[in-house]
Amino acid sequence: MAMRGTRKKTAEKPHYHHGDLRRALLDASLALISEEGFGALSLREVARRAGVTHAAPYRHFEDKEALLVAVAEEGFRVMTARMKERMARETSPEGRLAECGVAYVLFAVEHPAHFRVMFGPHFTQPPKLGPPGGDTDSFGLLVDSITQGQRAGVFREGEPLPLALTCWSLVHGLSSLLVDRKLEMSGVITVAQAETLALEQTRLLLRGLMRATSN
């Protein structure tokens, strides 16, 4: 901890103008949602935690919704990156598809605040996901892994989009139930347990997706 600490952050920025308030606001939002729940998210409390007045955020975000949109976009970027990372560990189509699903659920469990904002009932307008193939196009990754599996003759024939939607539904449902704590009949569920659940469920669906080679 050999920091000469004029300010606590890494780069020495005793700047009056806070250095990077935008980032601080995003972080404060995520922390607040994680600690107190989504309902407790108020622009004023976020500003308070960032150490500025309640009007300062309006220099960086037009709106409370604009802040949430920024959080959601960041979330999609991170999620897509995680999916790419995990999918790279496998070569077989079924392995890659399973990793894709597990990554989705793990992202949700490890970044519940991001996940809630990304898929919550907010947003008057659709959150405009980036272009296909971009760094936020997680659904594209899913569709691709399915068409690849079909081309390799491992997955059953059929329109890839409905099949991809089925996979998405499964992992999104599990993620939602975990994040919103609907499964906690007995104790909080750990990340490791979530991974086990995700693998288990993905494999079951995979059985229905594969050509009949018997498992």
Can residue 211 be called a binding residue for its own copies (CB under 8 A)?
no
Q: How far apart are CA 28 and CA 49, in angstroms?
A: 6
Q: Which amino acid is at 54?
A: H
Q: Are 99 and 171 in contact (CB under 8 A)?
A: no
Burial 40-50 (b: 16+ CB within 10 A, else e): ebebeebbebb
User: Distance between CA atoms of 76 and 83, rounded to whole angstroms?
Assistant: 10
| Contact residue for its own copies among 162, 186, 187, 188 (CB under 8 A) | 162
**Site for its own copies (CB under 8 A): which residue of 7, 38, 90, 140?**
38
Burial of 159 (0-12, 13-18, 19+ CB in 10 A): exposed
Query: Quick one: what does residue 38 bind among its own copies, DNA, none, with the CB cut-off 5 to 8 Å set by partner type?
Result: its own copies
The 8-class DSSP code of residue 58 comes to G
Does 174 bind its own copies (CB under 8 A)? Our answer is: yes
Tell me: does residue 15 bind DNA (CB under 7 A).
Answer: yes
What's the min distance (Å) between Cβ of 58 and DNA?
5
CA pair distance 186, 168, nearest whole angstrom: 27
163 binds its own copies (CB under 8 A): yes
Which two structure tokens, joined as six digits, stand for 80? Answer: 């897509």
Candidates 5-13, 78-86, 92-100, 171-179; binding stretch for its own copies (CB under 8 A): 171-179
Interface segment toward its own copies; rule CB under 8 A; list 76-84, 85-93, 142-150, 174-182: 174-182
The residues that touch its own copies, with contacts defined as CB under 8 A, are: 37-39, 116, 119-122, 124, 126, 162-163, 165-166, 168-177, 179-184, 197, 200-201, 204-209, 212, 214-215
The residues that touch DNA, with contacts defined as CB under 7 A, are: 15-18, 21, 41-45, 52-56, 58-60, 63-65
